[in-house]
Chains A and B, each alone.
Chain A
Amino acid sequence: MKKLLPFLASLLVLAFSSFIMLRPVAEAGYQVGDKAADFKLKNVDGKLMSLADNKAAKGYIVVFTCNTCPYAKAYEQRIIDLNTKYAPQGYPVVAINPNDPATVPGDSFAEMQKRAREKKYTFPYLQDETQQVARQYGATRTPHLYVLTRQGADFVVSYIGAIDDNSEDAKLVKTKYLENAMTELVAGKPASVSSTKAIGCTIKWKKA
Chain B
Amino acid sequence: MHRLKFIALLAGLLLTAAAHAQQVQVIKLPELQKRLARPTDTTYVVNFWATWCGPCVKELPHFDKLTTTYKNQKVKVLLVSMDYASQLDKKVKPFVAKNALKSEVVLLNETDPNLYLAKIDPKWTGSLPFTLLLNNARRKRLTFEQEFTAEELQKQLQAFMQ
A201 to B56, CA, bound (A): 10
Residues of A within 8 A of B (CB): 70, 140-141, 161-162, 165-168, 172, 174-175, 177, 196-203
Contacts across chains A and B counted by CB atoms under 8 Å: 61
Please give, as numbers and ranges, the residues of chain A lying within 8 Å of B129 by CB-CB distance.
202
Pick from B55, B112, B118, B127: contact of A165, CB below 8 A. Answer: B112
**Interface of chain B, main secondary structure:** loop
B147 within 8 A of A: yes
Q: What does the 1/0 interface line of B73-93 toward A look like (CB < 8 Å)? A: 000000000101010000000
B residues at A contact (CB < 8 Å): 52-55, 82, 84, 86, 111-115, 117-118, 124-129, 145-147
Complex contacts, A166 vs chain B, CB 8 Å: 111-112
Task: Among A141, A174, A175, point to the contact of B127 (Cβ < 8 A).
Answer: A141
Cβ-defined contact, A197 with B113, below 8 A: yes
A87 to B21, CA, bound (A): 51
Cβ contact of A197, chosen from B86, B126, B128, B146, cutoff 8 A: B126
- B114 — which chain A residues lie within 8 A by C-beta? 161-162, 165, 175, 177, 196-198
Chain B residues closer than 8 Å to A177, beta-carbon distance = 114
Question: Which residues of chain B are within 8 angstroms of A203 by Cβ–Cβ distance?
Answer: 127
- B128 near A202: Cβ-Cβ < 8 Å: yes
Q: CA A172 – CA B129 in complex, angstroms?
A: 26
User: Contacting A140 at CB < 8 Å: which of B111, B112, B127, B147?
Assistant: B127
A172:B111 contact, CB within 8 angstroms: yes
B147 touches A202 (CB 8 A): yes
Q: Which residue of A lies closest to B87 (CB)?
A: A168
Give the residues in chain B near A141, CB-CB below 8 Å.
125-128
Minimum CB–CB distance from A32 to chain B (whole Å) comes to 14
Known: A167-B113, A197-B114, A200-B127. 17 other contacts (CB 8 A): A141-B125, A141-B126, A161-B114, A162-B113, A175-B112, A197-B118, A197-B124, A197-B126, A198-B114, A199-B113, A200-B128, A201-B54, A201-B128, A202-B53, A202-B127, A202-B145, A202-B146
